Amino acid sequence: MHPLLEMRGITKTFPGVRALDNVNLTVREGEIHALVGENGAGKSTLMKVLSGVYPHGTYEGEILLDGAPVAFRSIRDSEARGIIIIHQELALVPLLSIAENIFLGNECARGGVISWRETWARTEALLAKVGLDEAPQTPVDRLGVGKQQLVEIAKALSKRVRLLILDEPTAALSEADSEKLLDLLLELRAQGVTSIIISHKLNEVRRVADRVTVLRDGATVATHDARAETLTEDMIVRDMVGRPMENRYPPREERRAGEVLMEVRNWRVAHPEHAERIVVRDVSLRLRAGEVVGIAGLMGAGRTELAMSLFGESWGRKLAGEALIEGRPADISRVDRAIAAGLAYVTEDRKELGLVLEEPITFNVTLANLAGVSRRGVLSRREEARVAERYREAMAIRTPGVHQKVVNLSGGNQQKVVLSKWLFADPRVLILDEPTRGIDVGAKYEIYTIINRLAAEGRGILMISSEMPELLGMCDRIYVMCEGAIVGELSADEASQERIMSLIVKHRRQAA
């Protein structure tokens, strides 16, 4: 197999930073090539060089396509040669239909007049190819993330793609949707489409990739044959972090649960716009002091909705249910009341819902507890800086200073700022929603350590995660949620991926 793409000696510098340092990447015709590395290792930068986002001339090194050098000046140039990127943040227009999105900028038109018949026919063919059973006229915002991802791929196929680049395609997908997507990639490979997949999930890399290239600190560390029996995930992780990782989850000193901190009884919530849709069905759960309790489930199981409705009824309309904190009924009907009752909620989407990005660390850390840094409504800058400094040390937030804007921090450090914000509010119960999403391996370990420390301090942790190994590695107990209801509860000893999945499957079968 001759190489489809060769990137030789790519060096890209930004003022003060060398983002890529002599990177080499060879992708063979017809293979699935995985690109892995920690956040900030240079994966996205490399793909931007490849696709012409950083035009030819702004980097050193050369790019060869089919053995001939190319000089892309824009994304248009690279797309014309069949190189198509699907970004982590999907680039679909929510209010347009699937068909309109697929042919956006590339309409089936004659003299500016769109032929809808042709558009829809071609869309149907493309949707069949990616296995999406939806009408071409369906607006994209009615589709879940998994299906939107498929629309993106259909869009790429419409442009006669030769090299498909997927940037963390499964980050926002449930296990089942991820499986589907990975199967699709294998199918496309069979049809001759070459792809590069950027991923943090090494099990997926092992499942689909033919070869894997590891980047670290802007340099190529190694390219492995991903099909080799001798290659282990630990070897890849070692390449990524530059040191061996014996354990992906920190050990807990001792697991000793105290008295019940929070109890939820028959919590029932309807969708905010469609009153007839019950999204959380009579959920009851208990959380003890010092416990880390997981909530497992697929995308759309209602986990985030449950968490947000518990936290000051921030989502949906609560129909029934009561919450007790330390044995007494608690008023958690507004966010400020929930905070006063001792609750904290670390959101799934830290950029959209957790941080004021253009403001410094000091601003963000104190936001949920301004009373703690003020007297009679007047802020003390001194106190604020002291608090931020304290959490910078306790959480090991890597930053030049606490007056740095959080937009300049890496994902892991941003997450530590969000955690600091909530710890400064001193909650008894923390609800963590996907606390390690989009964070690299090393920072994940740090977050886990912090979670364990918080539990050891006697707080209760309710942890939502779509990564089952993470729940299995961290939790004392796991509730399994499906279609808005809790369908099972497993202790740490009982729990396994198989048992969780079988609870979900069983529930679905009964429902059907």
Pick the closer one to another protein by CB: 339 or 503. 339
Classify 6 in phi/psi space as left (phi over 0), alpha (psi -120 to 50) or beta: beta
CB of 337 to another protein, least distance (A): 8
Taken in order 256, 260, 265, 271, the sign of the CA dihedral is negative
CB of 335 to another protein, least distance (A): 5
Pick the closer one to another protein by CB: 282 or 349. 349
112-121 b/e with 16+ CB inside 10 Å = b?
A: eeeeeeebbe
Pick the closer one to another protein by CB: 110 or 375. 375
Pick the closer one to another protein by CB: 53 or 456. 53
Pick the closer one to another protein by CB: 374 or 410. 374
The CA distance from 212 to 197, in Å, is 9
DSSP state of 325: E
CB of 369 to another protein, least distance (A): 9
The CA distance from 482 to 306, in Å, is 12
CB of 45 to another protein, least distance (A): 15
Pick the closer one to another protein by CB: 11 or 314. 314
The CA distance from 463 to 435, in Å, is 8
Binding interface with another protein (CB under 8 A): 311-312, 314, 334-336, 338-339, 345, 347, 352-359, 363, 367-368, 370-371, 374, 377-379, 381-382, 385-386, 389, 401, 403, 421, 425
DSSP state of 141: G
The CA distance from 465 to 303, in Å, is 9
Token pair for 81: 């040669």
| CB neighbour class for 104 (10 Å; exposed up to 12, middle 13-18, buried from 19) | middle
Pick the closer one to another protein by CB: 63 or 343. 343
Pick the closer one to another protein by CB: 207 or 271. 271
CB of 10 to another protein, least distance (A): 22
Contact 182, 204 (CB under 8 A): yes
Pick the closer one to another protein by CB: 61 or 372. 372
CB of 401 to another protein, least distance (A): 6
The CA distance from 53 to 44, in Å, is 11
CB of 76 to another protein, least distance (A): 22
CB of 474 to another protein, least distance (A): 23
CB of 65 to another protein, least distance (A): 30
The values of phi and psi at residue 84, to 5°, are -130, 130
Question: Which of helix, strand or coil describes residue 145?
Answer: helix
The CA distance from 438 to 467, in Å, is 12
The CA distance from 187 to 166, in Å, is 15
Written as one string, the DSSP assignment of 225-273 is ETT-TT--HHHHHHHHHSS--S-SSPPPS-----SEEEEEEEEEEE-SS
Question: Which of helix, strand or coil describes residue 38?
Answer: coil
Contact 140, 98 (CB under 8 A): yes
Residue linked to tokens 């600190």: 217
| Among 428, 425, 421, 352, residue whose Cα is nearest residue 388 | 421
CB of 354 to another protein, least distance (A): 6
Pick the closer one to another protein by CB: 227 or 334. 334
Pick the closer one to another protein by CB: 223 or 374. 374
